[in-house]
A and B are shown apart, each in its own frame.
Chain A
Amino acid sequence: MTAPDGNRLEHWASDEPFDPRVAEALTPEQERIYMASQWRMMWIRFRKHKLAVWSGTLLALVYLSILISEFIAPYNMHSRHTDQIYAPPQSVHFFHEGSFVGPFTYGFDYKLNMENLKREYTENRNQVNRLRFFCLGDSYRFWGMAEMRFHFVCPPENGTFFLLGTDRLGRDMFSRIVMGTRISLTVGLIGISISFALGMFFGGLAGYYGGWVDNLTQRTIEVIRSFPELPLWMALSAALPVTWSPILIYFGITVILGLLDWTGLARAVRSKLLAVREEDFVAAARLMGARPKRIIWRHMMPSFMSHLIASATLSIPGMILGETALSFLGLGLRPPITSWGVLLAEAQNINVVALYPWLMLPVVPVIVVILAFNFLGDGLRDAADPYK
């Protein structure tokens, strides 16, 4: 480094005033991350997991939809169309003979195939039935209370609109799947609340008291876990009294699902409690004179709550599947309560399914929801520990 006047040949230093904290000062971008609260960090981490975000959005939409299932379904799920039994799915058309008509369906021609007694429907291209939107259709009791007739989309005046076909009584499959969503998804939510409460309670007891309480809880968990889940569920739901009303059975099933599922959560709570108790920040809080209540709620809780939420999310699909399996076997929910499992029970007879494959369509929402919960849970689990 040579200066023109030759004064500072050997060693050069900047003339600018020196700020010793220059390395510590944060750019606004860094500040956003370094100063963020724990929950904010999790959110930042979670947002990076695109698949999880999309799954979460999808699930949120589906869960919102169960608030207004009756409004979305074009038919009342119990209304029968005796001349439209096992009708195939109807597609929505927009153009008739080259000209735009708006959404409409074609009518059906019906013929009984005398060879295999299959009901065969063919589209009647002359019969154009336009769909109606925001209209009055089948009447229903909104959430079983207020009598209403308002629908988002109704079948045409003198036609039909079976988006996913009809079942053996001529009931619209799409409406039934939409209504079944409400039951299937809430089973998971109620079940997980029960199992969450039990898991927190027993896991907390075991982790907090230790000693023989811990031992007893651990052994109990081991015994419960060594049962194969499904047969035990089957036995318990077979034990529900026949005299109960369908709605009581529904709650019975959710309780059964929750009663056997808490073991995993309890173990997680216990081990997290034991691990977090030894953390430096807890020791620091204790040294600074924080009371146990503050330590538990302010310091320990947030650091393992996120893990619990993640593992709870991952165990919801198990419950939904459990209900589906039980109802499929005929040991779970009973009609008139309709869930995806109840709908699938109709698809048990392979000979019927071979003729009318749309009876298997309830499989699709089951798989989509289960996948979405798995992705969401994965994303949450990664986000639960944002400092890693």
Chain B
Amino acid sequence: MLKYLIHRVLVMIPTLLAISLIVFVIIQLPPGDYLTSYINELQSQGEAVDEAKIAFLREQYGLDKPWWQQYLVWVTGMVQGDFGFSFEHNRPVSEVVGDRLWLSVIVSVATILFTWIVAFPIGVYSATHQYSWGDYGLSFIGFLGLATPNFLLALVLLYLANRWFGTSIGGLMDDHFIGKPWSWGKFVSVIEHLWVPVVVIGTSGTAGMIRRLRANLLDELQRQYVVTGRAKGLPSGKLLVKYPLRMALNPFIADIGNLLPQVISGAVIVSVVLSLPTTGPMLLRALQSQDMYLAGSFLMFLSFLTVIGVFISDILLALLDPRIRLGGGTSR
């Protein structure tokens, strides 16, 4: 197990490095840097450009150095917890971001929990009642959920809530908690608001999970050992839970790797639609205003979240499935 763990960590490091390099290249892609657009803006407003300040900023953030030096500065800074400087907000990135990162994590984790809790009973029901009306109905709803883009679902929900209840369901907490330090009240308020984005983001993942669980369980139910168990007179509920269900559970964990990027992608755009105080809206604004360090940190953070999630899922899978643990190979 330890060997597998070490192997897995060692694989993760170059992946993260490669990701950081790609992110850095992307945020460097737009011609010019933030300072040139800043200067242009000042000039267009007819204000004097403080050459000394520009030069200071340029030197401070190493914008005059070759790109690979800038990259090294950026990466080493990040490892030490310094995410660079947001030019637009004129504050360090870590200050600007604040608790948005944590809210993003909370939304993502809650979505995955939701996916599990909903997909599990429905998947089991669909498999044990194959070709029944319930199965057909649930499969149809699942298909709809899979096909409806989640930001459109968010839009429709916003509209319906506005139409029927006259309220807005956007946001992630009551207005008076925004910008306040964490407290029990704020936490409760977040939990109360959480369900809308969680349901919206979670639908497509849940639908996919149900389909996979159903297929897996159907495969297992055909196996000889199930027939043997039934022939020996095991009650059907016990028979189901004791063996096939445990086998069919693998995808719940193995799929985090596929689910997480999907959830995080979905969360970005849904949070723009629902105006949640998570990373999504800020990433969008940072990209539009070429605030490169801010955008880069968000991209890096979201990818990091994905990599960590996949890592955790691989470890859990190894704990669950001795074939992976002993083989030393990766799960997928």
Query: Which residues of the other chain, B, contact A235 by a CB distance below 8 angstroms?
Result: 23, 26-27, 287, 295, 299
- A363 in the interface, Cβ–Cβ < 8 Å? yes
Interface residues in B, total, Cβ within 8 A: 50
- CB < 8 Å: which of B146, B147, B156, B264 contacts A228? B264
Query: Which residues of the other chain, B, contact A310 by a CB distance below 8 angstroms?
Result: none
Query: Which residues of the other chain, B, contact A350 by a CB distance below 8 angstroms?
Result: 158-159, 162, 168, 170
Q: Which chain B residues numbered 17 to 45 have a C-beta less than 8 Å away from chain A?
A: 18-19, 22-23, 26-27, 29-31
Q: Which chain A residues numbered 359 to 388 have a C-beta less than 8 Å away from chain B?
A: 360, 363, 366-367, 370-371, 374-375
Asked whether B149 lies within 8 Å of A241 as measured between CB atoms, the reply is no
Q: Which chain B residues numbered 145 to 182 have a C-beta less than 8 Å away from chain A?
A: 146-149, 151-152, 155-156, 158-159, 162-163, 168, 170
- A337 in the interface, Cβ–Cβ < 8 Å? no
Q: Which residue of A lies closest to B269 (CB)?
A: A325
Q: When A229-B261, A371-B143 are in contact, do A234 and B287 touch as well, CB less than 8 Å?
A: yes
Q: Which chain B residues numbered 181 to 205 have a C-beta less than 8 Å away from chain A?
A: none
- B306 in the interface, Cβ–Cβ < 8 Å? yes
Interface 1/0s, chain A 326-349, versus B by CB < 8 A?
001111000000000000100110
Query: Which residues of the other chain, B, contact A223 by a CB distance below 8 angstroms?
Result: 15, 18-19, 22
- B107 in the interface, Cβ–Cβ < 8 Å? no
CB distance from A377 to the nearest CB of B (A): 11
Interface 1/0s, chain A 351-364, versus B by CB < 8 A?
00110010010010
Q: Which residue of B lies closest to A229 (CB)?
A: B265
Query: Which residues of the other chain, B, contact A353 by a CB distance below 8 angstroms?
Result: 155, 158-159, 162
Asked whether B15 lies within 8 Å of A370 as measured between CB atoms, the reply is no
Asked whether A354 lies within 8 Å of B162 as measured between CB atoms, the reply is yes
CA distance A357 to B159 in the complex (A): 8
Asked whether A329 lies within 8 Å of B261 as measured between CB atoms, the reply is no
Main secondary structure of the interface of A (DSSP, over half): helix
Q: Which residue of A lies closest to B168 (CB)?
A: A350
- CB < 8 Å: which of A225, A228, A357, A370 contacts B302? A228
Interface 1/0s, chain A 211-223, versus B by CB < 8 A?
0000000010011
Asked whether A367 lies within 8 Å of B147 as measured between CB atoms, the reply is yes
CB distance from B298 to the nearest CB of A (A): 7
Q: Which residue of A lies closest to B272 (CB)?
A: A329
CA distance A347 to B23 in the complex (A): 31
- B106 in the interface, Cβ–Cβ < 8 Å? no
CB distance from A380 to the nearest CB of B (A): 16
CA distance A230 to B269 in the complex (A): 8
- B288 in the interface, Cβ–Cβ < 8 Å? yes
CA distance A360 to B163 in the complex (A): 14
CA distance A297 to B151 in the complex (A): 43
Asked whether A317 lies within 8 Å of B147 as measured between CB atoms, the reply is yes
Asked whether B155 lies within 8 Å of A347 as measured between CB atoms, the reply is yes
- B94 in the interface, Cβ–Cβ < 8 Å? no
CB distance from A49 to the nearest CB of B (A): 14
Asked whether B261 lies within 8 Å of A226 as measured between CB atoms, the reply is yes
- B217 in the interface, Cβ–Cβ < 8 Å? no
- B276 in the interface, Cβ–Cβ < 8 Å? no
Asked whether A370 lies within 8 Å of B149 as measured between CB atoms, the reply is yes
Q: What are 28 of the A-B contact pairs (CB < 8 Å)?
A: A219-B14, A222-B15, A226-B261, A226-B306, A226-B310, A227-B299, A228-B261, A228-B268, A229-B265, A230-B268, A230-B269, A235-B295, A239-B29, A239-B30, A317-B147, A328-B269, A329-B284, A330-B288, A331-B287, A331-B288, A344-B152, A347-B155, A360-B156, A360-B159, A367-B147, A367-B148, A370-B147, A371-B143
Q: Which 9 A-B pairs have the closest CB atoms?
A: A230-B265, A239-B29, A238-B287, A228-B264, A371-B147, A228-B261, A228-B265, A370-B147, A223-B18
